[in-house]
Amino acid sequence: MSRARHAPGWHASAVVDDAARIAPSATVGPYTVIGPEVEIGERVRIGPHVFIERDTRVAEDVRIAKGAVLGSDPQDLKYAGERTFLEIGARTVVREFATLNRGTAAGGLTRVGADALVMAYVHIAHDCLVGDHVVLANGVTMAGHVEIGEWAIVGGLTGIQQFTRIGRHAMVGGGARLVRDVGPYTLVRGSPVTRTCGINRIGLERRGFEPDAIRALQSAYRKIFRSPDPLRVSLAALDTEDATPEVRELVAFIRRSRRGITTARSRSEGDAPLEGREPRSGTG
């Protein structure tokens, strides 16, 4: 580390490695430490006591609040010091004391998209992929290899098991325990048993989805999650040429699920993986 490097927007107590590249318009707060091979884009605002360990790329207009830790080593027993990365998309906000780890050799990259909001005390583990416009409320804890699609919202204190996927425009209620995938456009809540309870209608309306598209999703939801028919039968009934793009996306997401889909029934009633396969284990 070098304490000799200073710029007009850096506090005198900041410690910045010689190998870090920081845009001239970025600001760095008191007692912040920035390590090697970190790239900070234009107009990024970094608060006090932030630690960006290494190999992290922060796009323009990102805001990082006090005490956040970015680009730290993955918490994975298989990690052997290989070079991996963390990327933060433009205009994303990372709030107080959030922790975002770099990837492992399995994926090489942890990525948070643009215009996301990562609230206080969120943990984003190694190899997680978080889409644009995602909101992670306070205390969300993600294990490794979790994927969250764009515009999804995850309520506070939710725990997400490794390799779980959350589809686009889904909403997860606070305090949930996710051990199965969450379908796109759906609303999920409940603890200790988490269930799908409908389509995220209000969220879709706010984002400008047409009423016909929402009605088609609601009809598909009833066929998939409320029908007594086996899941394969329900999906096949929706696999038609006149299905809307949103319904086709929901059907394809469920068919690709390896962990199984969160249903409207308890796990003992049949939300096992479609192909009966469990993904390999990982760590947080």
| Count of C-beta atoms within a 10 Å radius of residue 18 | 9
> Exactly one of 103, 144, 183, 260 is catalytic; which is it?
144
Q: Is 126 a catalytic residue?
A: yes
Peptide bond into 192 cis (omega under 30): yes
For 71-88, give the DSSP string. EEPP--TT--S---EEEE
Closest CA to 89 of 116, 56, 114: 114
Q: Is 144 a catalytic residue?
A: yes
Name the maximum alpha-carbon separation found in the chain.
69
The answer to whether 189 touches 264, Cβ cutoff 8 Å, is no
The answer to whether 155 touches 136, Cβ cutoff 8 Å, is no
Handedness of CA 140, 250, 279, 275 (dihedral sign): positive
Q: What is the CA radius of gyration of the chain?
A: 20
> Exactly one of 9, 41, 89, 126 is catalytic; which is it?
126
> Exactly one of 17, 76, 127, 271 is catalytic; which is it?
127
d(CA 267, CA 59): 41
By annotation, the residues acting in catalysis are: 126-127, 144
